[in-house]
Amino acid sequence: MALRHAVLATLIDGPATGYELTKWFDAGVANFWHATRPQLYAELAKLEASGLVAGTEVVQQGRPNKRVMEITDAGIDALDEFARETSRPTAMKSDTLVKVRVLDVIDPTALHEELTSQLVVAVAKLEAFEAVEARMLRGRTHDEYLARARRVGPYLTLRLGIAREREYIAWLREVLDVIDRRRPSTVPPGHPIHPTLEVT
Amino acid sequence: MALRHAVLATLIDGPATGYELTKWFDAGVANFWHATRPQLYAELAKLEASGLVAGTEVVQQGRPNKRVMEITDAGIDALDEFARETSRPTAMKSDTLVKVRVLDVIDPTALHEELTSQLVVAVAKLEAFEAVEARMLRGRTHDEYLARARRVGPYLTLRLGIAREREYIAWLREVLDVIDRRRPSTVPPGHPIHPTLEVT
DNA sequence: TTCGTCATGTAATGCGTTACATGATTAA
DNA sequence: TTAATCATGTAACGCATTACATGACGAA
């Protein structure tokens, strides 16, 4: 029941269209919530009906018209109320972890490929996160930022996202290594089967 | 559509009743999937109907009877097939992260409490994970275990669970610190508002 | 005597994913 | 000319949560 609040939390940073929200929530950019397009359009309609966001039709030339959504005062109140409710720890769900758990029982070829492609995605995501971090800090140190910045919430969630991504990358490399050692690689030397991208 | 595979992956380690599975999936013990009681009983019924698990009624004295579920050969095949399908990266969803993101806009009192109780839970979870790890290693080093153990899958997933829990604990402490510094504590000195449990 | 554990389910409601549906502009 | 981007939705189906429902045993 928190998609509505995730949307409101995003609109705190400024108005956006359903299309823009789709990209933030669907792509890996959103490190705090995930949602699909139909969900977002449906949720925005409900939020508007209950007065928590206000939409404005913007007519464009050469492009389809768009509806820019803005959070209302009632919307901010709703966020405050949400923060008062207690929610219990987040539920973990990962297809990939299920597969790794049974890695000894199955043919690991396909799993190796999957982990490799996830490694590429994770490295790209980490780089994107670090770019956002640099843009936020603008030369300031971590401590300076926390002490002086007007808003620290987005920075703090980003920090967790970065830490998790780094760790996931290290773990993926370890698992790939284990698979390689257990099932001696059939790849000719000089052609590494998984990327050796450096994380700085 | 992967709850069925998560259940099968658990039954690889030996037969279990719906009740036992409930505890593994519902409590924080399962570091790779989460599911609720009604879901599990429903899924087990479906799995049995399609022959991927076989249930045996066990009559007990002094306690309700139970149905012990065991994975079948067809069940193992289903896992193998599942490993061949590609699944895309896991979707993140966390109420708590949503709240932290808007921490500057809301009253942080309730959030502070929530983070504190999550810290306690996370520390306990980490200790439980580390106890399982010690039991698995039985004195061997990480490398020895990976080289010689018959099955390494459960160990590898546990490793990620441990790493994530450690990091989450560190992050929670950081956020609590930020809240404390920004809204000078109303707690009298000598009575810390959040636990200072050590993670070794 | 009250609470926790063992043990299994159903019913109602709400959340999430996939597929369907359309159509103009711009860059390769 | 093919694909990507901009832009918004509906419909069908399946997954997940919460509440309902029951009942005996053992420990505090």
Give the percent of chain A with pLDDT over 70: 88
pLDDT value of position A89? 78
Determine the residue of chain B that is closest to A146 in CA distance. Answer: B178
Residue B128 near chain A (CB below 8 Å): no
A104, A160, A168 ranked by CB distance to B153: nearest: A104
Residue from B133, B161, B7, B2 nearest A96 by CA: B2
The minimum CA-CA distance between A56 and chain B, rounded to whole Å, is: 24
Higher pLDDT, B185 or B118: B118
Q: What are the strands of the beta sheet with B66-71, ordered from one edge?
A: B16-17, B66-71, B53-58
Q: Both tokens of residue B125?
A: 């979870």
Among candidates B5, B93, B147 on the partner chain, residue whose Cβ is nearest the Cβ of A98: B5
Phi, psi angles (nearest 5°) of residue B78:
-65, -40
Instruction: Tally helices (H) and strands (E) across chain B.
Output: 8, 3
Instruction: Please state the pTM of the whole predicted model.
Output: 0.90
Distance A40 CA to D4 C1' (A): 22
Upper half-sphere CA count for residue A101 (Cβ side, 13 Å) = 25
CA of B137 to C1' of D19 (A): 43
How far apart CA B157 and CA B129 sit, in angstroms, is 11
Rounded CA separation A69/A53 (Å): 6
Q: Where are the alpha helices (DSSP H) in A50-187?
A: 73-84, 95-101, 109-137, 142-148, 153-182
Of residues A192 and B93, the one with the higher pLDDT is B93
CA of A61 vs chain B CAs: smallest distance (Å): 35
- Yes or no: say if B31 and B101 are a contact pair by the CB < 8 Å rule: no
Task: Report pLDDT for B194.
Answer: 45
Region of poorest pLDDT, from A3-7, A154-158, B26-30: B26-30
* CA separation for the pair B130, B66 (Å, rounded): 31
Q: Residue B180 burial (CB < 10 Å; 0-12/13-18/19+)?
A: middle
Cα nearest neighbour of A89 on chain B: B118
Q: What is the pLDDT of residues A43-78, one digit of tens each?
A: 999 999 999 999 999 998 888 999 999 999 999 999
**What are the tokens at A83?**
């923060």
Query: How high is the pLDDT of residue A91?
Result: 83
Residue B187 has pLDDT above 70, yes or no: no
Mean pLDDT of the region B98-107: 96
Q: Which of A99, A103, A171, A174 has the most B C-beta neighbours within 10 Å, making it the best mutation to test the interface with B?
A: A99
**Vertex B44: Cα angle to B92 and B69 (nearest 5):** 120
Asked if A176 and A116 count as a contact pair (C-beta separation under 8 A), the reply is yes
The residues near B40 (Cβ < 8 Å, ≥ 6 apart) are: B7, B18, B21, B22, B25
Between A166 and B186, where is the model more confident? Answer: A166
